[in-house]
Amino acid sequence: MDYSVARRRMVEQQIAARGVTDKRVLEAMSTVPRHLFVEAGLQSHAYGDASLPIGEKQTISQPYMVASMTAALELQGDERILEIGTGSGYQTAVLSRLVKRVYSVERIAVLAGRARKILDQLQMSNINIKIGDGTIGWQDQAPFAGILVAAGSPDVPTKYLDQLAVGGKLVLPVGDQNQQILTRIIRQENGGFKREQLMGCRFVPLIGEQGWSLESIS
C-alpha cells in the first residue's frame, strides 16, 4: 500500500472537502504517518474515515476530528500546548508539527510508553509526556496558549480554565458518555470566558478527579 497516496487522499477527501482550510493543519496531516500509530493489522485502514481501536479500550480519533480540533486552536507556531489523552500519540505528533512545545498527559502507562517510542522514532523532540490524571492538567507548565482534550467530559474541568493563558483556546468534547458537543472556550482579557459549540462528536470518557469516575463508566 502506498501510504503517501492514501494520506494525500485522506486530506483532500475527508478533511479539506469538509471545510478545514488551515493550510498548516492540512500540511501536518499530509506529513504525519498515521499508519505508524496503529497496530500492524490495522495499518491498511489507518487513512480511512473512522476512528480505530488502539487497545486499553481507547481509540485513535477519526482524521477529520483530529484536523478539526487542531484547526479550532488557531495555532500560529510559537505556542506551548497542553494535550489531554496522549493515546496513540498521533494527535500529539500533529500538534508537534505546529507549535513550539507539546505537553501531553496520559493516564494509561502502556499507551504513554508506546506513543513515546513512536514519537522518538520520528525524531519529534518538542514533546513532553507525563503519566497521570489528565483532568487536573499540568500546573507546573501552565499557562498554555491552547488545551486540546481528546476525551469526553461531563463538564468543563476548572483546572483547564485556570491553566489557560489570556487569549488561549480550550477545545474539548462536553456531554454524556454516549454523545458530546465539541466545545471551544476562549479566555478573554477581562477574565471571562467565551464559549462556542462547534459540532457533535463521540469520544471515550475523560476519567479522573474532574471527569468521570472509573466506577461510572458503562
Active site residue 216: no
Burial of 213 (0-12, 13-18, 19+ CB in 10 A): exposed
Strand partners, 187: 193
Catalytic choice (61, 68, 96, 153): 61
Phi-psi region of 161 (alpha: psi -120 to 50; beta: other; left: phi over 0): alpha
Of residues 177, 151, 140, the one with CA closest to residue 86: 151
Q: Are 35 and 3 in contact (CB under 8 A)?
A: yes
166 Cβ contact list (under 8 Å, min separation 6): 143, 187, 188, 189
Q: Known catalytic residues?
A: 61
